[in-house]
Chain A
Amino acid sequence: MSHFYHFDTLSLHAGQTVDPEFGARATPIYQTTSYVFPDTDTASSIFNLERGGHAYSRITNPTVGVLEQRIAALEGGSATVCTASGMAATYCAITAILGQGDHIVASSQMYGGNISLMKNTLPRFGITATFVDPLDIDGFRSALQDNTRLIYGELIGNPGLDILDLEAIVKISADNHVPFMVDATFNTPYLCRCFDFGVNITIHSVTKWMGGHGLAIGGAIVDGGNFDWGATDKYPTITEPYAPFQGINFWEEFGPSAFATRIRAEAMRDFGASMSPMNAFLLLQGIETLSLRMDKYASNTRQLLDHLSNHKQVSWVSHPGLTSHSSYELAKKYLPKGAGSIVSFGVKGGRDAGKAFIENLQLASHLANVGDAKTLIIHPATTTHGRIDAEGLVAAGITEDMIRLSVGLEDVADIKADFEYGFRAAEKFASS
Chain B
Amino acid sequence: MGFTTRQIHAGVTPDPTTGSILTPIYQTTTFVQASIDEYLDKGYSYSRSGNPTVKALELKLADLEGGTDCSCFGTGMGATTATMLAFLDAGKHAVISDVAYGGTYRLATKVLSRFGIEFTFADTSNVDEVAGAVRDNTAMIFTETPANPTMKCSDIAAISEIAKDAGAIHVVDNTLLTPYYQLPLDLGADVSVHSTTKYMDGHNATVGGATISKTEEHGAAIRFIQNSTGSIMSPQVAWLTSQGCKTMSLRMDQQSANAMAIAKFLEAHPKVEQVRYPGLESFSQHELATRQASGYGAMAWFEVKGGLAAGKKLMDTVEVWTLAENLGSVESLITHPVTMTHADVDEAERQRVGIIDGLVRLSVGLEDVEDLIGALDKALEGV
Contacts and interface: CB of A to CB of B under 8 A. Distances in A.
A38 B16 CA distance: 10
Given A22-B44, A23-B42, A62 B18 contact: yes
Given A28-B25, A29-B24, A281-B27, A22 B18 contact: no
A34 interface: yes
Given A26-B29, A28-B27, A54-B19, 5 more contacts: A19-B28, A23-B32, A30-B25, A32-B15, A35-B21
Interface in B3-30: 14-22, 24-30
Contacts of A18: 32
Interface of A: 18-38, 53-54, 62-63, 281
B34 interface: yes
Given A30-B15, A31-B239, A36-B14, A25 B20 contact: no
A22 B52 contact: yes
Nearest to B33: A23
B87 interface: no
Contact of A21 (B21, B27, B33, B42): B42
A36 B17 CA distance: 10
B30 A54 contact: no
Interface residues of B, number: 25
B9 to A, nearest CB: 12
B158 to A, nearest CB: 44
B29 to A, nearest CB: 7
B43 interface: yes
Contact of B43 (A22, A36, A63): A22
A285 to B, nearest CB: 9
Given A21-B16, A23-B32, A29 B52 contact: no
B160 to A, nearest CB: 37
Nearest to A43: B19
B31 interface: yes
B52 A38 contact: no
Contact of A25 (B19, B24, B29, B34): B29
Contacts of B28: 19, 24-28
Interface of B: 14-22, 24-34, 42-44, 52, 239
A24 B44 CA distance: 8
A40 to B, nearest CB: 13
B44 A32 contact: no
A392 to B, nearest CB: 44
A32 B42 contact: no
Contacts of A62: 17-18, 20, 24
A30 B19 contact: no
24 contacts: A20-B17, A21-B16, A21-B42, A22-B42, A22-B43, A22-B44, A23-B32, A23-B34, A24-B44, A25-B29, A28-B24, A30-B15, A30-B18, A31-B24, A32-B20, A32-B21, A33-B21, A34-B20, A35-B20, A35-B21, A38-B19, A53-B19, A54-B20, A62-B17
A42 to B, nearest CB: 9
B25 A36 contact: no
Contacts of B20: 30, 32, 34-36, 54, 62
A21 B52 contact: yes
A26 B24 contact: no
A19 B31 CA distance: 9
Considering residues A27, A32, A37, which has the most beta carbons from chain B within 10 angstroms of its beta carbon? Answer: A32
Q: Which of B26, B29, B33 has most A Cβ within 10 Å?
A: B26
A22 B26 contact: yes
Contacts of B43: 22
A36 B32 contact: no
Contacts of A29: 24-27, 239
Contacts of B17: 19-21, 62
A261 to B, nearest CB: 19
A150 B22 CA distance: 41
A102 B123 CA distance: 82
Contacts of B29: 25-26
A59 to B, nearest CB: 13
Contacts of B15: 21, 30, 32, 35
A339 to B, nearest CB: 35
Nearest to A55: B19
A53 B17 CA distance: 10
A220 B266 CA distance: 58
Contacts of A63: 24
A27 B235 CA distance: 13
